[in-house]
């Protein structure tokens, strides 16, 4: 539901996976642009090497009609407007099949805000993408208190079938995980500019040339794990006090307790056992070199 950039991107992705997609858009000018936008998304999917070759199809209409009949998933990609989403979900809950997963691609609104009645939340989830979903195949699955385990499992299966990597959140939280991490970086970036520590170009350069390439491959926990001999436990011991002091300066009170650090370390060792850690460090070093070479080639064409 919705033929903006997110909706069309999802439509192209599910169709490429072999899905039969009904794209519903009330605005005529957007419906008229769908064919061209789908073609762009297909080219983008191909350029990323993500084609599944399912040869599904996309139909476009201006109203729901019988589009809700027999579908596995409804994905609402409308405006980030609470009242609009409430009206849409009220209609979906009343008319969709009992086995249909009802999802919103909202960037921040939770299902319990959109559907306050817990008894009506059973089939409802947030499916928060990264723009564009056709290429950045992460999807955050965020249940409401009343969302059933069956709906969560079905949502994960459906998105995996289209090539997405679902990350299920244990509970609702405003902004989910992606926007909370992104927001933390942006808040500090704004502070550093406001305080005259550096300028906008300085912040972007630090991210582009320093943090970005490592995080693209590893993420913050693995980066810490691979950066320090002795792994993430040694990193927390060495850097934890400095990070805690930085946090206190910003009014943050997160406690890197021994128990929390141990929990993170245990999860990391489950992902990468101790005897494979050096191999992972070497892999990252080789991969960062390749990534930087590709980034620099792409950057040369940015103004072309």
State the Cα–Cα distance between residues 206 and 258, nearest whole angstrom: 30
The CA dihedral of 260, 266, 270, 273, to the nearest 10 degrees, is 130
CATH 3.40.50.720 in the chain, residues?
5-168
State the Cα–Cα distance between residues 267 and 263, nearest whole angstrom: 6
State the Cα–Cα distance between residues 256 and 16, nearest whole angstrom: 44
User: Residue 59: enclosing H or E segment and its boundaries?
Assistant: strand 57-61
State the Cα–Cα distance between residues 13 and 136, nearest whole angstrom: 11
CATH 1.10.1040.10 in the chain, residues?
179-300
List helix spans (H) across 164-230: 178-194, 200-206, 212-217, 219-227
For the whole model, what pTM was predicted? 0.91
Chain centroid to CA 111: 16
Distances (CA, A) of 152 to 23, 68, 93: 23, 19, 16
Give the pLDDT score at 304. 61
State the Cα–Cα distance between residues 88 and 165, nearest whole angstrom: 26
Give the pLDDT score at 65. 83
Candidates 87, 207, 181, 56; CA nearest to 128 is: 181
Say if domain 5-168 classifies as CATH 3.40.50.720. yes
Contact (CB, 8 A) for 62 and 25: yes
Look up the CATH number of domain 179-300: 1.10.1040.10
Q: Which residues of the chain have pLDDT under 70?
A: 304
């Amino acid at each position: 539901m919705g033929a903006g950039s997110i909706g069309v991107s999802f439509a192209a992705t599910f169709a490429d996976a072999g899905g039969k997609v009904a794209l519903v858009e009330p605005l005529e000018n957007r419906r008229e642009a769908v064919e061209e936008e789908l073609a762009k998304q297909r080219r983008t999917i191909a350029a990323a090497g993500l084609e599944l070759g399912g040869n599904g199809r996309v139909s476009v209409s201006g109203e729901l009609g019988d589009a809700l009949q027999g579908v596995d998933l409804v994905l609402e990609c409308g405006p980030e407007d609470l009242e609009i989403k409430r009206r849409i979900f009220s209609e979906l809950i009343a008319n969709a099949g009992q086995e249909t997963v009802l999802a919103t691609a909202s960037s921040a609104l939770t299902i319990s805000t959109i559907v306050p009645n817990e008894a009506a939340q059973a089939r409802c989830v947030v499916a928060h993408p990264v723009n564009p979903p056709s290429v950045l195949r992460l999807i955050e699955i965020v249940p409401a208190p009343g969302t059933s385990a069956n709906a969560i499992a079905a949502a994960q299966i459906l998105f995996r079938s289209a090539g997405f990597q679902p990350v299920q959140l244990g509970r609702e939280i405003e902004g989910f995980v992606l926007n909370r991490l992104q927001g933390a970086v942006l808040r500090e970036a704004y502070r550093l500019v406001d305080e005259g520590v550096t300028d906008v170009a300085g912040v972007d350069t630090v991210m582009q040339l320093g943090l970005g390439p490592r995080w693209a491959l590893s993420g913050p926990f693995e980066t810490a794990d691979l950066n320090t001999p002795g792994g993430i436990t040694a990193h927390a011991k060495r850097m934890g006090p400095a990070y805690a002091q930085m946090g206190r300066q910003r009014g943050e009170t997160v406690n890197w307790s021994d128990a929390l650090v141990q929990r993170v370390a245990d999860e990391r060792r489950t992902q990468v056992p101790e005897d494979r850690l050096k191999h992972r460090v070497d892999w990252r070093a080789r991969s960062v070199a390749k990534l930087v070479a590709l980034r620099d080639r792409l950057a040369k064409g940015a103004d072309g």
